Structure 1
Amino acid sequence: MALAVLRRAAALVICLTAVSAVHAASLDAGLLPRIQGATFEVVAAKPVNDPLTYEKPLPLDLLPYQERNDKYHSIGTAFAIGHNRYVTAGHVLLAGVDSLWGAPSLRDAGGHVYAIDKVEKFDLRRDFVVFSLTGDPAPSPLDVDTKPVLNQEVYAVGNALGTGVVIRDGLYTSDTPEQQDGAWKWMRFSAAASPGNSGGPLLNKEGKVIGVVLMKSANENLNYALQIGDVLNAPSGQAVLDQRVPYQLDIFNTTLSNQLKSQFALPLSLADFFSEYQKRFDGYVDAQLKEILAKDADKMFPHGESSNRLLYGQSWTNTVPGLIARSSTGEWGLSVKESNRMSLAANGYVQAGVLNHTFFFHLRRPDTLPASKLYSDPLALAEQLCKLGIFMRPVGSEQIRITSLGKPVTDTVHTDQWQRRWQLRVWALPFANTKVVTYALPVPDGYAMLMRFAMPGNSYDTTADMRVLTDFVSVGYDGTLAQWKEYLQNTSLLPSAFKDIHIDIDYQHRFSYTSKRLAFAFAPDLQKIEPDSVLTLGAGFLPDHGKVVWDVNTLSMRANQQDPDRLHIERNVAPPADMDDSFKSYWDKLQKRRHPYEGVAYTTDGETNIAAPAGDGQSASSGVLYSVFYVMAGTQSQDTMKPKLDLLLKDIQIKEH
């Protein structure tokens, strides 16, 4: 997850939880009408249209009456401090950025809803906003006290849990410096606060506002507020963004801790405010991405010695996509996290893993789902994912399975730096105010995929992060010959490197493979050639005459998915002088045709192998050698294995030198 920005801060601020038993408030009863009249719920309209379909009608009767009949979500509290002048927490307002719900509005005790007109003051770090309303109801504003006294009794007023204005008492216990550099002091108080209290007033016993309720202490039963004097004394007509915002990218184990620092003029309409804020927030994301990728650029994969173990020792045949990431020692490695397979109909399945903040999927499409439909119709992809039961909607005590995500709100193609084409789709989950972001790479048997969930305001940085990650993803290309035939017809989605590859399949007669590096062919006397024969191309990052390219370096083929017998061809490159002895020994054995490359059968792990370098005239001085293997189950004789190897070597041609 890229940005720990406000969303991480929001984990602290927006999820205020009850911290003590509710005490009976002892404010003068005569003050209550004014307090209640000046305090409002901050609400966002529930989506009218739901693109999702469910396994059954939603059992909405399981929800409390108020929740199921309310047309709004309650997201916080606001209060009046002057003529058409209202205050709430900054993070409450920012919940409307890129939201699937309606824009934040205010609702009074009578159920009347008022749209926000102009944003007049905003401070990201102090977490407050001052604004006006359209059709101002003109309540009597609350009086303020800018010099609160420690240890006095205080009252937290808020829309507790969306049930209307609630007043709870406690003590103003202490002050604590703000976390970044102590530029001001937060008020700490013991009055209970619940979800929805954010942005509400903290009152003294005279009913005067002394602070704005913002967040809960992470380690103790105390809540935090900002002194109202800080709100009043802040410059008018200005939005101030000045906050340390941690940033992390999944390929590194380090975090940037820079400041999002900007400002822009106010007043602005709410829509224009959101636009200006998002522009600066997205610009910060871009700057952080640029900076973190520029650090040690000479050692960034695939450059530098720390990349060599991958470049000279990897076959790139994993079907669940793996992420190339840098360890704490500075070495680049490939992480592949595989879980159990989850079955779909007609031999389909999904195998998934999680690395840091990203889900990695291999979707093997059902035999009944044509490749052309899967690649061209995002509904087909979404329905397969939904069959796994990973998308659920909680309704009361039940979890209702989502059976279709509907049409995506975004459907484009992203080409990574290796010229692989990923289909970027973004779906909406309106009930959760969340988006599902997927980058799907077509492969012969379906898709290799990355997926994340994006909260409001995080769509841009989520997609930007994932876009960078695609450059560091490795996945093999695997499928039956029938699947390969379908896959290769979708030319607009093929990696550019595949334009130099030609695969000809004549079932029961001949298979041939030709690229700019290698050509070979075989007939059924070596191995069956049937629609369900399985071809795997290991495609990855190859040293090639002083540079690194993305191309095929491994080819394997089996008669079918269950048959363990297989042929295997692999590209090998002379390791640099600074590589350890294991790499040098491997290369030395290959070029000098020593075991296991002398064409003599040997048994290991219940299989018999035979191997040799390809191409008798190939010079080791070229720095590239191809090794050829044939493998059969059980213990086999030399007389059985050697003819297989000879057939494989007979029609192989190495083109690169």
Structure 2
Amino acid sequence: MVGFVRKLSLAWCLVVISVGLIGPAHAASPDPSLAAKINAATFEVVIPKEVNDPLIYEKPLPLDLLPYQERTDKYFSVGTAFSLGNNRYVTAGHVLMVGIGDLTGPPALRDANGHVYAIDKILKFSLQQDFVMFSLKEQPGNVSLDTNIKPAVNSVVYAVGNALGTGVVIRDGLYTSDTPEEENGRWKWMRFSAAASPGNSGGPLLDQDGKVIGVVLMKSANENLNYALPISEVLNAPDKLAVMDKRMSYQLDVLDYDQNGNFKAQFPLPKSYDDFSATYLKLQNAYNEQQLKALLQQQAGDLFPHGAGSRQILHDTPELSLFPELIVHNRSGQWGYAGRELNRVPLSGNGYVASGYVGHNFLMHLRRPDDMKASVFYGDPKAMMDLVLKTGYWYRQVGPEKIKITSMGKPTTDTTYTDSWQRHWKVFIWPQPHINGEVVVFALPVTDGYAIMMRINPSMVTHDSLIDMKALTDFFNVDYGGTLAQWKEFLSDKSLLPEVLKDTHIDFDYGKRFGYDSSSINFSYPASLQTIGPDNLLSVGVGYYQKNDKFVLEAGYVQIRLNNTDPDRISIRRHVAPSADLDDNYKQNWGKLLHKQHPYDGVAYNDGDEMDIASVIDAPANDAPAELYTAFYGTQGTHKPEDMKAKLDLITQQFKLKSH
């Protein structure tokens, strides 16, 4: 599509078409009187720029770097429209839809003298044919274009439009051929060789007499030709009706297949632009919700944690991954973890922002700086986002410069969402008026900060992002870890806790003892085993376990490290008996557990420059237990085997397995 849209400076870009190529030069230009008529009947489609920018930047925006017209214009130019007379104006549907959900104001028309005309009513609309007819509240004049519904192939044509947003131009070429519409050939597109640049969308395609034969819409992806909708399709379309009948695909980032369907609906016109936009969005949002529901229902039997492809994750010990991941389905039919830390930016007070991505989603682990109070961090979304912005990833492009955004202020949306695993998310939306976009953030409180899923999207599709991201929370995997000091603060605020940690009690007395008590296990040890201080690192890996006919999130791996650099560590791990269809690696490891074979035999061994020891705790007498627990102790250097065994005994002797 050939619409000229505002430049975007973040990770996404609302692009409507790439630039077409210059058409043949042999056709004559229209005579001056005809050119004057064409210009008088052709208009820019514009959207107002933001007046009050909610963003704060590292320095004043150097707007003097922009071309004079761009920096002084109060509007963004997004396309072209033309007059057919009797207060009827036509443009491409996608041009007017750029303004749906716009954060700065509705689209309008602007003539060559700079006068702006407000849209009054939407009169006709077709999503599939990509056109809209509308009226204006104030009439620009009496000049309009005549139509020709039977143009001749290979005749001279003129493509008229607001090329590159710098004013209406007339360029010549040939009407070369027709080609059927892609879905089922309901009509034929006109193909022409006249140049069409971004901004031409919605402009008229004229014959050599200046009569409208089509509406310029898009560029061919594979050849040097552009496409127009025959004007007869606009004229013959039903009056006073908006029609949606278009094939669309719905995709969720964790699945390797799409849900295909037809967005089919209609509603009566005329309507004001605001009412039209609201009605259209309501129908589109309902359709997308239906598609998402159908996609999930269709695959319900195989969606994680159901189906054979889930069994590896269900039988693996949690990874102790503090960086968030999505559980995704691959083409081999298996579910696995996707997402890894690609970059890390340090913050003050030992804080940092680690980032990566999966599909359309930024994934982040934001560690709270030690010098920021937990109440401020978890209670003030502005403060949280200001920390994320310290990465410098978010900026506004002004000419050749990238000006960092340092604050987005308070979000316009601040709500909560509870996923199926009973984790409580904070949901925030920040507007970005300069790109007509919004930042959508799902922030899950974790022990040392937030695990974050984020999108930056056109405001028109924010609803789609919200329903997508709510669905994705059920496939979001992250473990919990932090210092004992952080755990103390985190567990004290019950509103932050997921269900898996609601019954977890951590009891410690610095320099004396440590105790861990959950709904599954209880253990403790004295400071003679490991020094106990506020900088000890406690990590709780949560896994997915089946209980009768339900799947629940429970702790499966508890590890306490002396600090971030010392390898001295203690851990308790939960192991699940493998199902019959798992490979031999699972079964062999389970056999070692059942028979207390190395490394689970309670005998110390060297592993590089450290010494380790592990044992199965209270292995049952029968040969078919559903679960087993192991205790582990590792420390740097070489130590006497009997001393290592005594250390391990300090863990196992105080371990209690509760009934499940």
Deviation at 1:297, TM superposition (A): 1.7
One-letter amino acid of the structure 1 residue matched with residue 31 of structure 2: D
Q: What CA distance in whole angstroms lies between the structure 1 residues aligned with 2:41 and 2:244?
A: 28
Q: What CA distance in whole angstroms lies between the structure 2 residues aligned with 1:25 and 1:497?
A: 75
Q: Match for residue 477 of structure 1?
A: 480
Alignment match of 2:17 (pick from 15, 18, 42): 15
Deviation at 1:605, TM superposition (A): 4.5
Q: For residues 75-474 of structure 1, what are the structure 2 equivalents within 5 Å?
A: 75-474=78-477
Q: For residues 502-581 of structure 1, what are the structure 2 equivalents within 5 Å?
A: 502-581=505-584
One-letter amino acid of the structure 2 residue matched with residue 372 of structure 1: S
One-letter amino acid of the structure 1 residue matched with residue 533 of structure 2: E
Q: For residues 21-100 of structure 1, what are the structure 2 equivalents within 5 Å?
A: 26-100=29-103
Q: Deviations over 1:121-167 (max 9, x none)?
A: 10001000000011222332100000111111111111112211111
Q: What CA distance in whole angstroms lies between the structure 2 residues aligned with 1:270 and 1:124?
A: 15
TM-score (structure 2 length as normaliser): 0.95
Q: What CA distance in whole angstroms lies between the structure 1 residues aligned with 2:238 and 2:23?
A: 38
Moved more, 383-392 or 298-307: 298-307
Structure 1 103/25 Cα, relative in aligned 2: closer, same or farther at 3 Å? farther
Q: What CA distance in whole angstroms lies between the structure 1 residues aligned with 2:479 and 2:112?
A: 60
One-letter amino acid of the structure 1 residue matched with residue 187 of structure 2: W
Q: What CA distance in whole angstroms lies between the structure 1 residues aligned with 2:621 and 2:52?
A: 66
**Residues 158, 201 of structure 1: 8 Å contact kept:** yes
**Residues 415, 421 of structure 1: 8 Å contact kept:** yes
Q: What CA distance in whole angstroms lies between the structure 2 residues aligned with 1:59 and 1:587?
A: 65
Give 5+ residue unaligned stretches, structure 2. 1-11
Q: Deviations over 1:596-653 (max 9, x none)?
A: 1110012234432211112366866441211111112344431332111011112111
Q: What CA distance in whole angstroms lies between the structure 2 residues aligned with 1:545 and 1:647?
A: 34
Q: Helix, strand or coil for the counterpart of 2:422?
A: coil
Q: What CA distance in whole angstroms lies between the structure 1 residues aligned with 2:584 and 2:537?
A: 35
Deviation at 1:471, TM superposition (A): 0.4
Q: Match for residue 4 of structure 1?
A: none
Q: Helix, strand or coil for the counterpart of 2:459?
A: coil
Q: Helix, strand or coil for the counterpart of 1:192?
A: coil
Moved more, 574-583 or 187-196: 574-583
**Residues 80, 139 of structure 1: 8 Å contact kept:** no
Structure 1 532/189 Cα, relative in aligned 2: closer, same or farther at 3 Å? same
Q: Deviations over 1:320-369 (max 9, x none)?
A: 11111111011111123221322112211111111121111111121111
Deviation at 1:174, TM superposition (A): 1.3
Matched residues, number: 648
**Residues 328, 336 of structure 2: 8 Å contact kept:** yes
**Residues 442, 493 of structure 1: 8 Å contact kept:** yes
One-letter amino acid of the structure 1 residue matched with residue 581 of structure 2: D
Q: Match for residue 6 of structure 1?
A: none
Q: Helix, strand or coil for the counterpart of 1:80?
A: strand
One-letter amino acid of the structure 2 residue matched with residue 126 of structure 1: Q
**Residues 325, 472 of structure 1: 8 Å contact kept:** yes
Q: Helix, strand or coil for the counterpart of 1:609?
A: strand
Structure 1 362/177 Cα, relative in aligned 2: closer, same or farther at 3 Å? same
**Residues 372, 486 of structure 1: 8 Å contact kept:** no
**Residues 351, 369 of structure 2: 8 Å contact kept:** yes
Structure 1 355/37 Cα, relative in aligned 2: closer, same or farther at 3 Å? same
Deviation at 1:370, TM superposition (A): 1.6
**Residues 157, 194 of structure 2: 8 Å contact kept:** yes
**Residues 151, 171 of structure 1: 8 Å contact kept:** yes
Q: Match for residue 589 of structure 1?
A: 592
Q: What CA distance in whole angstroms lies between the structure 1 residues aligned with 2:596 and 2:178?
A: 76
**Residues 96, 456 of structure 1: 8 Å contact kept:** no
**Residues 474, 540 of structure 1: 8 Å contact kept:** no
One-letter amino acid of the structure 1 residue matched with residue 21 of structure 2: V
Q: What CA distance in whole angstroms lies between the structure 1 residues aligned with 2:638 and 2:212?
A: 85
TM-score (structure 1 length as normaliser): 0.96
**Residues 142, 209 of structure 1: 8 Å contact kept:** yes
Q: Helix, strand or coil for the counterpart of 1:603?
A: strand
**Residues 84, 138 of structure 1: 8 Å contact kept:** no
Q: What CA distance in whole angstroms lies between the structure 1 residues aligned with 2:549 and 2:655?
A: 26
Q: Helix, strand or coil for the counterpart of 1:644?
A: helix
Deviation at 1:507, TM superposition (A): 1.2
Q: What CA distance in whole angstroms lies between the structure 2 residues aligned with 1:243 and 1:250?
A: 22
- Determine what percentage of the aligned residue pairs are the same residue: 52
Structure 1 473/153 Cα, relative in aligned 2: closer, same or farther at 3 Å? same
Q: Helix, strand or coil for the counterpart of 2:585?
A: helix
**Residues 615, 652 of structure 1: 8 Å contact kept:** no
**Residues 510, 524 of structure 1: 8 Å contact kept:** yes
1:492 lines up with 2:492 in the alignment? no
Q: What CA distance in whole angstroms lies between the structure 1 residues aligned with 2:595 and 2:649?
A: 19
Q: What CA distance in whole angstroms lies between the structure 1 residues aligned with 2:549 and 2:58?
A: 56
Deviation at 1:15, TM superposition (A): 2.4
Q: Match for residue 652 of structure 1?
A: 655
**Residues 25, 167 of structure 1: 8 Å contact kept:** no
**Residues 16, 198 of structure 1: 8 Å contact kept:** no
**Residues 317, 575 of structure 2: 8 Å contact kept:** no
Q: What CA distance in whole angstroms lies between the structure 1 residues aligned with 2:212 and 2:341?
A: 55
**Residues 570, 627 of structure 1: 8 Å contact kept:** yes
Structure 1 416/605 Cα, relative in aligned 2: closer, same or farther at 3 Å? farther
One-letter amino acid of the structure 2 residue matched with residue 656 of structure 1: S
